[in-house]
Amino acid sequence: MQRATKRERADLATVCNDSVGYLYQIAGEHRRASPQMATRIERKSRQVAARSNGRLELVPRESLVRHPEIFTGIFDEE
């Protein structure tokens, strides 16, 4: 979140249907994302990271939830 531009943070918040402030809480590990939100964040961060020329990195969804094992099977990407 710190290296992202204001526009990139706003775009991510829009995709996640939430506020930039809430995303900062997730990034700071004060809150955990739902599995669905974690998947949306991962997908959007992949797109943004690809356009950033190495400035930003992909955010793995497993790092955003309390129990990463929930992604085995049901939330696998298509």
Residue-wise pLDDT tens digits, 22-73: 999 999 999 999 999 999 999 988 988 888 888 889 899 999 998 888 777 6
CA distances for 35 relative to 5, 27, 30, 54, 55, angstroms: 25, 15, 16, 26, 26
Q: Is 54 within a domain?
A: yes
Residue 75 lies in a domain: no
Whether the predicted pLDDT of 15 surpasses 60: yes
pTM for the model stands at 0.78
Residues of the domain holding 42:
6-67
Q: Is residue 44 part of a domain?
A: yes
Across the range 2-17, mean pLDDT stands at: 88
* Between 70 and 10, residue with greater pLDDT: 10
Does the structure show a pLDDT above 70 at 76? no
In this model, does residue 78 exceed pLDDT 60?
Answer: no
